[in-house]
């Protein structure tokens, strides 16, 4: 890094943090000079990004720049000298990349500002599945495996873990994507209602059946039928559902004509279906029929690494959330909570906070009190001599003591560098200088933010 960049790094990072979307400043060879918080959260792996190649960072986050005919905007800009706007398509979804050359006084592009806006694979923003943790990547891997086949998929997981979103993603990535995606929530339906919802009814079939109604099984023809909370289907109706799944045929309530429907089945439940089978509350034959390809969606507390990115994405989806930013202390609280209601609960917490926040920042005070208790309080390192009280303290050079404390603060402080500098009572520039000195002595250390 040139001396000038070394001196200006705090200012540059601060400038980059003005962008809400992931932004990175690159050299001509694609190595990173600095990146903003949004970039580190979305694509970072917790290790320092500075000096690493941008395509290596993206590849590690599951966005392979060289796959599927993607063009490198940096190369194109190097050849033409012009800003580039390209769409990269990845298995994880699409990313809009806007690359702007930063020219020297002779007009030669020397550095490049890259803004990345992750888009959705297909569909709109509200259907994107955010997450990059190992647990979530495994789910995405299974979804990709299951999607092209016609096999029935069973989505298992606690309420609010994204089962419906996953079902829609499987449908969108399947050969039936141009067909309908029909959802039937099986919870809380009486037997009569369930039957008439699934199979439809003829006019006059029962009191109140004033006209013929097409059932959801029929409406799903050519597409996907998603049975949410399949464990809630009354035992008496399970046999009718099994017959439908086995033969693809059914009759409307009050009808005599057999109707054929060709759909792919995806079912979901938060219940332990296997246990229900042993307790004879769920038919074993139906269980085998729906459980051809099980996918377990992990609870949010088992994929805490995704909380930052999820919180940003969910906030952005709220109408009042687009103007707001999550303060590092708020993110620290969000990371430490267990979310019995999973992603739905996180979304609701953010919705409430967005209404309470007047200014730019969502602060811990905008969160429910039980989340604020989670503010992380790591113990400072035991200083030399402190562990063995009464022992003769080991005398260390002050500089070494400061380095030890700084290392601890850097590794444990949950916020960004600006807040850390503030807490340490030094300028951001001084903090950067001191951290650079630490880095010079020790490579492969995690960044502050």
Ligand X SMILES: Nc1ncnc2c1ncn2[C@@H]1O[C@H](COP(=O)(O)OP(=O)(O)OP(=O)(O)O)[C@@H](O)[C@H]1O
Q: Whose Cβ is closer to ligand X: residue 72's or residue 146's?
A: 146
CA distance 26 to 101: 10
According to the binding rule CB under 6 A, does residue 130 interact with ligand X? yes
Smallest gap from Cβ 11 to ligand X, in A, equals: 34
Q: In this structure, are residues 152 and 264 in contact, taking their beta carbons and an 8 Å threshold?
A: yes
Q: Is 114 in the site for ligand X (CB under 6 A)?
A: no
Other beta carbons within 10 angstroms of residue 376's beta carbon come to 12
Q: Is 131 in the site for ligand X (CB under 6 A)?
A: yes
- Is 344 an interacting residue with respect to ligand X (CB under 6 A)? yes
How far apart CA 77 and CA 100 sit, in angstroms, is 8
Cβ-proximal residues to 80 (8 Å cutoff; 6+ apart), any chain:
none
CB neighbourhood size of 319 (10 A): 8
**163 sits near ligand X (criterion: CB under 6 A):** yes
Least Å distance, CB 89 to ligand X, is 19
Cβ distance 308 to 336 under 8 Å? no
| Nearest distance from C-beta of residue 357 to ligand X, angstroms | 20
- As given in the structure block, the two tokens for residue 105 are 């006084």
Does 165 interact with ligand X (rule: CB under 6 A)?
Answer: yes
Interface with ligand X by CB under 6 A: which range of 3-11, 341-349, 371-379, 426-434? 341-349
Q: Judged by CB under 6 A, does residue 159 bind ligand X? A: yes
Alpha-carbon distance values, 363 to 20, 93, 129, 358, 379 (Å): 17, 31, 26, 10, 23
Distance, in Å, from the CA atom of 173 to the CA atom of 325, rounded to the nearest integer, reads 33
Q: Map residues 278-317 to x or -, x wherever contact with ligand X holds by CB under 6 A.
A: --------------------------------x--x----
Select 259 or 309, whichever has its Cβ closest to ligand X: 309
- Identify which of residues 101 and 162 has a Cβ nearer to ligand X in the complex: 162
Query: Looking at 44, 73, 101, 160, which residue binds ligand X (CB under 6 A)?
Result: 160
The Cα 363–Cα 105 span in angstroms is 42
Count of residues interacting with ligand X (CB under 6 A) = 18
Residue 69 Cβ vs ligand X, minimum distance, rounded to whole Å: 27
191, 197, 198, 203: CA torsion to nearest 10: 100
Distances (CA, A) of 424 to 5, 383, 410, 427: 24, 17, 11, 9
* Contact residue for ligand X among 74, 99, 129, 333 (CB under 6 A): 129
d(CA 332, CA 364): 9
Q: What span, in angstroms and rounded, lies between the C-alpha atoms of 338 and 341?
A: 9
**Residue span 388-427 as binding mask against ligand X, x where in contact by CB under 6 A, dash where not:** ----------------------------------------
Q: Are 432 and 9 in contact (CB under 8 A)?
A: yes
- Tokens, residue 442: 């020790």
- Beta strand 213-214 with 200-201 is antiparallel
Residue whose CB is nearest to ligand X in the complex, by number: 162
Stretch that binds ligand X, among 13-21, 77-85, 339-347, 432-440 (CB under 6 A): 339-347
Q: Which of 162, 223, 231, 364 binds ligand X (CB under 6 A)?
A: 162
Q: Which of 98, 150, 164, 202 binds ligand X (CB under 6 A)?
A: 164
Q: How far is the CB of 282 from ligand X (least distance, A)?
A: 17
Binding mask 189-228 toward ligand X (x if CB under 6 A, else -) reads ---------------------------------------x
CB of 231 to ligand X, least distance (A): 11
**C-alpha closest to that of 226 among 183, 170, 168:** 183
Angle 223-227-232 (CA atoms, 0-180°, nearest 5)?
165
Q: Which is nearer to ligand X, 226 or 250 (CB)?
A: 226
Binding residues for ligand X, rule: CB under 6 A, are 129-131, 157, 159-165, 228, 270, 310, 313, 343-344, 347
């Amino acid at each position: 890094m040139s001396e000038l960049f070394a001196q200006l790094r705090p200012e540059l990072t601060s400038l980059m943090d003005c962008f809400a979307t992931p932004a990175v400043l690159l050299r001509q060879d694609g190595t990173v000079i600095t990146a903003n918080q949004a970039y580190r959260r979305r694509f970072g792996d917790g290790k320092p990004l500075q000096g690493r190649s941008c395509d290596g960072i993206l590849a590690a986050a599951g966005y392979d720049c060289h796959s599927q005919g993607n063009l490198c905007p940096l190369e194109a800009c190097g050849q033409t000298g012009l800003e580039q706007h390209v769409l990269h398509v990845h298995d994880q979804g699409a990313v809009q990349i806007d690359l702007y050359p930063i020219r020297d006084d002779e007009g030669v592009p020397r550095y490049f500002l890259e803004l990345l806006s992750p888009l959705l694979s297909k569909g709109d923003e509200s259907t994107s599945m955010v997450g990059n943790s190992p647990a979530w990547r495994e789910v995405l891997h299974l979804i990709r495996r299951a999607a092209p086949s016609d096999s029935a998929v069973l989505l298992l997981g606690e309420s609010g873990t994204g089962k419906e979103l996953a079902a829609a993603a499987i449908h969108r990535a399947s050969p039936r994507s141009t067909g309908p995606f029909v959802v039937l929530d099986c919870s809380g339906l009486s037997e009569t209602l369930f039957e008439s919802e699934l199979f439809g009814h003829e006019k006059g079939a029962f009191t109140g059946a004033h006209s013929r109604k097409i059932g959801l099984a029929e409406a799903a023809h050519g597409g996907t039928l998603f049975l949410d909370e399949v464990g809630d289907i009354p035992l008496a109706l399970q046999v009718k559902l099994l017959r439908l799944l086995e033969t693809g045929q059914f009759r409307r309530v009050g009808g005599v004509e057999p109707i054929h429907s060709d759909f792919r089945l995806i079912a979901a439940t938060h219940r332990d279906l296997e246990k229900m089978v042993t307790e004879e509350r769920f038919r074993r034959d139906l269980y085998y029929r729906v459980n051809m390809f099980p996918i377990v969606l992990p609870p949010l507390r088992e994929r805490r690494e995704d909380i930052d990115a999820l919180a940003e994405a969910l906030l952005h989806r709220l109408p009042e959330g687009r103007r707001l930013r999550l303060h590092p202390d708020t993110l620290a609280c969000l990371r430490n909570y267990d979310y019995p209601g999973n992603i739905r609960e996180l979304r609701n917490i953010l919705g409430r906070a967005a209404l309470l926040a007047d200014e730019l920042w969502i602060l811990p005070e905008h969160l429910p009190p039980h989340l604020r208790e989670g503010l992380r309080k790591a113990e400072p390192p035991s200083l030399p001599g402190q562990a063995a009280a009464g022992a003769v303290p080991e005398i260390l050079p002050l500089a070494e003591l400061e380095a030890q404390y700084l290392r601890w603060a850097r590794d444990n402080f949950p916020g960004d560098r600006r807040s850390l500098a503030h807490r340490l009572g030094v300028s951001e520039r001084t903090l950067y200088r001191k951290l650079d000195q630490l880095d010079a002595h020790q490579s492969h250390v995690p960044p502050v933010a």
